[in-house]
Amino acid sequence: MALLHRHNRVLWLINMHSAGEKQFNVYALMETLFQHLPLDIAMGLLYDVVCALEHSCQKWGFLGRFMDCLSFAVSVFHAYGHEWACQLLFHPCKRGSFGFADGEGCERFWHSISHLIGTLCVSGVSSFFLCPRPD
């Protein structure tokens, strides 16, 4: 998982040890980011399932000290396959201060480094045994 800034440059990467994107990875990235920024900065967060993320933040107090300076929006292209209500509430054009950002910088980043990843290699603890041997 990666955290990119507005101009799609990688700030931090997380090596995911379990299947799927877990919310705690997002919290870890955001906590790391805010350790390097002043507390009064305004920040926008574009994420695939930001509706669930913001709900968890509100319900459980995650990122509590940063919530006043955070604005949430859903990544544009993921919004079309996501729940309609989430698209209406969290589309970047409707949330303000996101400009024409589409939130797809991570997808572009992963595509740009995809040649570094073995196409037949299963990622995991025992991945050494699951990768085909080069001939």
**Residues in the chain, how many?**
135
- Residues 77/102, Cβ–Cβ less than 8 Å: yes
Q: Which pLDDT does position 131 carry in this prediction?
A: 46
- Residues 113/94, Cβ–Cβ less than 8 Å: no
Three-class SS state of 20: coil
How far apart CA 58 and CA 55 sit, in angstroms, is 5
Three-class SS state of 103: coil
In tens, the pLDDT along 1-57 reads 889 988 889 999 888 777 777 889 999 999 999 999 998 888 899 888 888 899 999
How far apart CA 48 and CA 41 sit, in angstroms, is 23
What pTM was estimated for this model as a whole? 0.75
